Amino acid sequence: MLMDSKKPLHITAVASNLKLDYGGVHRHVDVLRNAGLLQVFDVGRSRVLSPLNIDQVRDFILKAKEFSKRR
């Protein structure tokens, strides 16, 4: 979802789109940020997400899909 967007997204927008609660999305965001795949900006009281290493993420997603097809 973030990779398809032309601009950074708020965590609340991601949570709403995925029909998940903010806390669950925030925990995943922390993992992705710690892995160096996502950047989080504080904008006022909101948290805005921006992907890093997009090519690396796309490669990982393709490999994961290939792996799941073989199972």
pLDDT of residue 23: 93
Q: Which tens digits make up the pLDDT trace of 5-43? A: 667 788 898 889 889 999 999 999 999 899 888 899 988
Residue 46's domain comprises: 9-70
The DSSP string of 7-71 is: S-EEHHHHHHHHT--HHHHHHHHHHHHHTTSEEEEEETTEEEEEES-HHHHHHHHHHHHHHHHH-
Q: What is the pTM of this model?
A: 0.68
Model confidence at 1: pLDDT above 60:
no
| Residue 2: inside a domain | no
CATH number for position 33 = 1.10.10.10
pLDDT of residue 55: 84
| Residue 62: inside a domain | yes
Q: Summarize the confidence of residues 50-69 as an average pLDDT.
A: 84
Total structural domains within the chain: 1
